Amino acid sequence: MNIGIVGLGLIGGSLGLDLLASSPDRNYVWGISRNINTCKQAEAIAAVNIASTDIAEIPDQVIEQTDIVVVCTPIATIVPTIRSLAPKLPANVIFTDVGSVKSAIVKPAAEICQQFGQIFIGSHPMAGTAFQGILAAERNLFQNRPCVVVPDADPVAVAKVRSLWQSVGMNIYECSPEEHDQAVAMISHAPVMISASLIAACGQQRDFKVLQLAQNLASSGFRDTSRVGGGNPELGRLMAEYNQKALLGSLQAYQKSLQQVIALIETEQWQELETFLATTQRDREIYMS
Amino acid sequence: MNIGIVGLGLIGGSLGLDLLASSPDRNYVWGISRNINTCKQAEAIAAVNIASTDIAEIPDQVIEQTDIVVVCTPIATIVPTIRSLAPKLPANVIFTDVGSVKSAIVKPAAEICQQFGQIFIGSHPMAGTAFQGILAAERNLFQNRPCVVVPDADPVAVAKVRSLWQSVGMNIYECSPEEHDQAVAMISHAPVMISASLIAACGQQRDFKVLQLAQNLASSGFRDTSRVGGGNPELGRLMAEYNQKALLGSLQAYQKSLQQVIALIETEQWQELETFLATTQRDREIYMS
């Protein structure tokens, strides 16, 4: 199978590594990056067979036999990338992506692909590390991790995209773009804002001695609760920008739960608070199993 | 030095282990637990020289030469424990504790001690593991961890309590009960409620498919942000009950920060949101260093 990977960062690079390492005879992987050094590095670590900053430099017969193109760029450039590449790729090619939002991408991407007789199937492989870039790429990054694939009127195309992610070890979940966005808003995007707000609240402390003490006493509880709020600000902004509606829904549900806890504490309903915390203790197990 | 440890759980047991292992010739440690099996286990692992469920069974000459009694029971029983033990201990003995709140403990405990010519110095050694009980006790639990000691009119007693914690490797911070309670409310008690509210908000999801999807997709971001909200419900309740005022103050500051984030998302102020997240990213480093 000929596979194109556009965007050779952690995700694109790791995907290429696994595709080539597991089936070097069956897969041929070409890559595109804006950066020529990234292209050279991707070739050097065998994440791709060939890479270029310009699709025109990928041999015609490679392009003509391409089955799937995986767009691994940041969210904001997924649709523009498809718009620019679609005219240069054969009809029947399947595009997919790795974006952490789906509603904002699937419809416009599918419309572009349709114009060229191509198909877009939305994906969201949920894998990563704390690092970025082609040099952070690693084998087995996707192993046993969940991947959302958005169903489509073309079941053959969906099956091919499912197979691609399954071939690197992922567990597939099918759902609509809206279902995906609501689920990730709650378990991934809202936690970033909830966690960042904790850090910001500490910053409101005007008593310098208390602030300094808090900084000295902060330990694992604060470290874990604040971790994702201390992450990449650009990524946090993009989540909010491209998943605004579902994120706001999750944050409003969160405000309601928080207000409930505060009311229990204000009215000294200690037994009810303990029951509330026993429920969250039990419920968390379901997410962690 | 003769040291009494009342409450032989993770903290009391680990303290005894270190005191006896580092200076077996200089320290003599006696222990009290409500549970006779715990007493036997504490003796067996050398967390104490002698332990009993009844202080009357500790030899008189050991009690008479006791310098410090460390109350390692749960918050709610610290003051009652001191009330019951103080009449049975010599004048001049120093009581200290390990409670995670200080305002609710220091004043009543000091008043009891004063009646018997004894002194109470509040402590909060910030150390622990995910486990409980004497069998979870371990060497070097306190090494390089922070410990708050509340200053008192008797500097010699304060120095003795500081030395005790320093002898097991702790870094000492002195502050008032109110300063302590405000600082731990923000970095330890509020995170429990903030984190639990995230789990509770997920539970509001009425679309079963989305809920199931969220459970399947939850990964490290959700795991870390929800960790302390999935902890011991009784401990969470006690934090709130005994540190109500400071906790409510922290949660109100938190609500303000959260509302600020939500407003930025509602009004699509994406650049401002990114700036907010860049600030929290930078500020978190101060707490983690």
Across the interface, whether the CB atoms of A230 and B256 are under 8 A apart is answered no
pLDDT of B85-111, one tens digit each?
Answer: 999 999 999 999 999 999 999 999 999
Whether B186 sits inside 8 A of A203 (CB atoms) is no
Give the pLDDT confidence of B205-258 residue by residue, as tens digits.
999 999 999 999 998 999 999 999 999 999 999 999 999 999 999 999 999 999
Residues of A in contact with B278 (CB under 8 A): 233
Give the C-alpha separation, A164 to A2, whole Å. Answer: 11
Instruction: Provide the greatest CA pair distance for chain A.
Output: 73
* Cβ atoms A8, A51 nearer than 8 A: yes
CB contact under 8 A, A214 and B287: yes
Contact A191 B221 (CB under 8 A): yes
Helix-then-strand count for chain A, H and E: 13, 9
Per-residue pLDDT reduced to its tens digit, B122-170: 999 999 888 899 999 999 999 999 999 999 989 999 999 999 999 999 9
Contact B84, B20 (CB under 8 A): no
Q: Which two tokens stand for residue A270?
A: 């200690």
Q: Is the Cα torsion angle B217, B222, B224, B227 positive or negative in sign?
A: negative
Interface of B with A in 23-62 (CB under 8 A): none
Residue B129 has a pLDDT of 85
pLDDT at res. B273: 98
Q: How far apart are CA B170 and CA B143, in angstroms?
A: 6
Residue A43 to chain B, least CA–CA distance (Å): 31
Domains of chain B (ranges plus CATH)?
Answer: 2-175 (3.40.50.720), 179-288 (1.10.3660.10)
- Low-confidence stretches of chain A (pLDDT beneath 70): none
Q: Is pLDDT of B279 > 90?
A: yes
Strand pairing category for A146-149 and A123-125: antiparallel
Residues of B in contact with A171 (CB under 8 A): 216
Q: What is each CA distance from B151 to B67, B161, B181, B224, in whole angstroms?
A: 18, 10, 14, 35
Residue type for position A147: C
Q: Cα(A270)–Cα(A72) distance, rounded to whole angstroms?
A: 49
| Count, residues in chain B | 289
Q: Does B186 touch chain A (CB under 8 A)?
A: yes
Q: What is the pLDDT of residue B183?
A: 97
Closest chain B residue to the Cα of A199, Cα to Cα: B280
A25-48: per-residue pLDDT in tens? 889 999 999 999 999 999 999 999
Contact flag A217-B183 (C-beta cutoff 8 Å):
yes
Q: Read off the amino acid at residue B180.
A: H
Is residue B99 a contact partner of residue B78, using CB atoms and an 8 Å limit? yes
Statement: residue B24 has pLDDT above 80? no
Rounded-to-integer distance, Cα A105 and Cα A154, Å: 18
pLDDT tens digit sequence for B48-68: 999 999 999 999 999 999 999
pLDDT at residue A150, as a whole number: 98
Reported ipTM: 0.91
In angstroms, the CA A190 to CA A262 distance is 19
In chain A, residues with a C-beta closer than 8 Å to the C-beta of B257 are 197-198, 200-201, 204
Pick from B129, B287, B288, B289 the residue to mutate for testing the A interface (most A CBs within 10 Å).
Answer: B287
Q: Tell me what pLDDT residue B83 has.
A: 98
What's at B50, amino acid-wise? I
What is the total residue count of chain A?
Answer: 289
Query: Looking at chain A, which residue has its C-alpha nearest residue B258?
Result: A197
String of DSSP letters for B27-54: -EEEEE-S-HHHHHHHHHTTS-SEEESS
Contact A173 B216 (CB under 8 A): yes
The pLDDT of residue A161: 98
B-proximal residues of A, 203-262, CB under 8 Å: 203-205, 207, 209-210, 213-219, 221-234, 236-237, 240-241, 244, 247-248, 250-258, 260-262
Tell me how far apart the alpha carbons of residues A32 and A66 are, in angstroms, rounded to a whole number: 14
CA pair distance A241, A185, nearest whole angstrom: 12
Give the minimum alpha-carbon distance from B214 to chain A in angstroms, rounded to a whole number.
Answer: 5
Answer whether A265 sits within 8 Å of B204, measured CB to CB: no
Angstrom distance (rounded) from CA A19 to CA A164: 9
pLDDT at B289: 76
